[in-house]
Amino acid sequence: MLIDFDPVSVNTRQRLLPPLSRLPDGSYAIFGTDQLGRDVLAQILVGARVSLGIAIASGLFAALVGAAVGIAAGWTGGSTGEAIMRVIDVQLSFPSILIAVFLAAFIPASILTVIVVLAVTRWAAIARLARAITLKVTSQSYVESALVSGLPTWRIITSCVLPNLAAPLLVLLTADLSLIILAEASLGYVGLGTPPSVPSWGRVIANGRNFLDNAWWISTIPGVAISLLVIAIGLTGELLRRHFARDGWTML
């Protein structure tokens, strides 16, 4: 909304300018320009919107699917619950970035594709947490009383299971957000993320990999931005964990 940036524009008169260079129109390129003359700061700002939007959407999608599957596995139990857990264990045995690269290689590049691919890599961990919380809650006496009183299953889940799942799920999502951002940047770096017309931090870093000797700022500054964001999210997650730990909640 604040930056007028065209990701496919080309201006060879101002290509590879270092940070704090003055452009022909009198403005300053605070973070320099890339090999096509595009402002690196504008790419970082627009790319932040894309990368954060993808990360948040993927996290929420993974939370919805993972929570539903985990609660179902914990509530039903028996062979059905065990079968679901074996599927989850198989997925968790593979590196998430390997799954993301494999799926992205066979699906046309788009923002929706990246969101779905990254959500697929994270739902299993959320499902395992949701199942553990469900098993713990269903063993409590008040849940047994609710079952005896004839309350419907959906009412017990929404009033007993979900409130107990909210706090640990929030902490886990905060940690997953950092992993999703790094995975999205990795996909963009290898060219399997967003299409070329949609700027993202991983794609900006990839654009400067051939100019590290004479235009280090193209890749370095977006890399520093990713690092600072991941550190900030990690610190936020740690603060949330400590906050809930003081209230008597522990991670399962």
Full domain range(s) for residue 137: 38-197+215-246
Is residue 60 in a domain? yes
Angle (CA) 163 168 169, round 5°:
80
The number of distinct structural domains making up the chain is 1
Helix intervals (H) in the chain:
40-76, 78-92, 96-104, 111-138, 141-148, 153-156, 162-189, 201-207, 217-246
What is the Cβ-side half-sphere exposure of residue 33, based on CA atoms within 13 angstroms? 23
Q: What pTM was estimated for this model as a whole?
A: 0.83
Please say whether the beta carbons of 34 and 208 come within 8 A. yes
Is residue 56 in a domain? yes
What's the confidence (pLDDT) of residue 158? 86
Which of 194, 181, 205, 198 minimizes the C-alpha distance to 104? 194
Distance (Å, whole) CA 178 – CA 180: 5
What's the confidence (pLDDT) of residue 149? 82
Is residue 114 in a domain? yes
Supply the CATH number for residue 155's domain.
Answer: 1.10.3720.10
Determine the residue type at 96. S
What's the confidence (pLDDT) of residue 252? 43
What's the confidence (pLDDT) of residue 226? 93
What is the Cβ-side half-sphere exposure of residue 129, based on CA atoms within 13 angstroms? 26
Is residue 15 in a domain? no
Assign 13 to helix, strand or coil. helix
Cα Rg of the chain, angstroms: 22
Is residue 123 in a domain? yes
pLDDT tens per residue across span 50-87: 889 999 999 999 999 999 999 998 888 788 888 888 88
Give the burial class of 37: count Cβ atoms within 10 A of its Cβ; 0-12 exposed, 13-18 middle, 19 or more buried: middle
Is residue 207 in a domain? no
Is residue 21 in a domain? no
Is residue 227 in a domain? yes
Which residue ranges in the chain fall short of pLDDT 70? 1-3, 7-8, 247-252
Distance (Å, whole) CA 247 – CA 190: 43
